Amino acid sequence: MEQKLINEFNRFALSKGISSSKMDYYMKRLNVSNIHAPNIIEERQLNISVLDIFSRMMMDRIVTIVGAIDENMSAIVQAQLLFLNSLDKTKDITCQINTPGGSVIHGLGIVDIMESIECDVSTQNMGICASMGSVLVSSGSKGKRYTLNSAQIMVHQASSGAQGHVRDNSISHYQTEKFNYLLMRKLAENSGQTFETIIELADRDRWLDSDESVKLGFVDDILIKEGVIPVGELMKGFDDYYNNIIMPRLRNQDIR
């Protein structure tokens, strides 16, 4: 049954124009530092299945979004969301996200699919959701957006790195401003904050711990079991520590 599901997804992805090379590329991206994803062996009556862990997680309707967002990641994640939606439109899909950000247009492509399918999409910040990642995690179905205790969100302005002729650079700058406006509007809509608040918040890199992420409305709750101390509690007193201990040391440091 498990291998049949994976084969069905592969056929579905191919029918959507996703090449096998893109599939292979994305699976390699999931293997951190070239360490192969562990295999899961499941034994059932008259059947033994061997699957990599990410394929097994997809069977439980869990989609993994890890690493920089690009066209290959976007294509595979879009296909996974569409495939799982086609299997059962009444069950939630969970997107586990751990990304430093990446391509705005390809990230928005994932968001568009999340918001167009019938399934609710639950999002989970598994470590860092920075830049475009902050939009992804906050775009989950309201009430079903989560963060791990130590995970962080980072919001900031869009960037372009445009090069070339002066007039082309002005066109690129204009397009980047449009993307930045769209992302800020999206974050405002997702969080319930005003557009002006988001613009001020994201004027420079702004890091949010799990407590701040919930308070500002980017996620709905922290995944933490009873008895574990929230990061927000652990970080109380940091400003005094930094201003009264670290800063005096830096000021008095001999830099000759």
Each residue's pLDDT tens digit, 18-41: 766 666 666 665 554 444 454 545
For residue 196, the model assigns a pLDDT of 97
pTM listed for this prediction: 0.81
Instruction: Assess contact for 93 and 77: CB atoms under 8 A.
Output: no
Confidence class of residue 163 from pLDDT cuts 50, 70 and 90? confident
pLDDT at 212 over 90: yes
Instruction: Assess contact for 125 and 208: CB atoms under 8 A.
Output: no
pLDDT digits (tens, 9 = 90+) for 73-83: 999 999 999 99
Instruction: Assess contact for 147 and 140: CB atoms under 8 A.
Output: no
Instruction: Assess contact for 55 and 33: CB atoms under 8 A.
Output: no
Q: What is the mean pLDDT of the chain?
A: 86
Considering the candidates 122, 156, 191, 213, report the single residue annotated as catalytic.
Answer: 156
pLDDT at 256 over 60: no
Considering the candidates 49, 74, 131, 210, report the single residue annotated as catalytic.
Answer: 131
Percent of the chain whose predicted confidence (pLDDT) is above 90: 67
pLDDT digits (tens, 9 = 90+) for 184-195: 999 999 999 999
For residue 25, the model assigns a pLDDT of 61
Mean pLDDT along residues 210-227: 96
Confidence class of residue 250 from pLDDT cuts 50, 70 and 90? confident
For residue 131, the model assigns a pLDDT of 96
> According to CATH, what is the number of the domain 2-252?
3.90.226.10
Percent of the chain whose predicted confidence (pLDDT) is above 70: 80
- 156 as an active site residue: the answer is yes
Q: H helices within the chain, ranges in order?
A: 2-15, 20-30, 53-59, 71-87, 104-116, 132-138, 166-191, 195-201, 210-215, 231-234, 238-241, 247-252
Confidence class of residue 63 from pLDDT cuts 50, 70 and 90? very high
84 exposure class (CB count in 10 Å sphere: 0-12, 13-18, 19+): buried
**DSSP state, 203?**
S
The residue written with tokens 């066209």 in the block is: 71
Cα–Cα distance, 100 to 97 (Å, whole number): 10
> What Rg, from alpha-carbon coordinates, does the chain have?
21
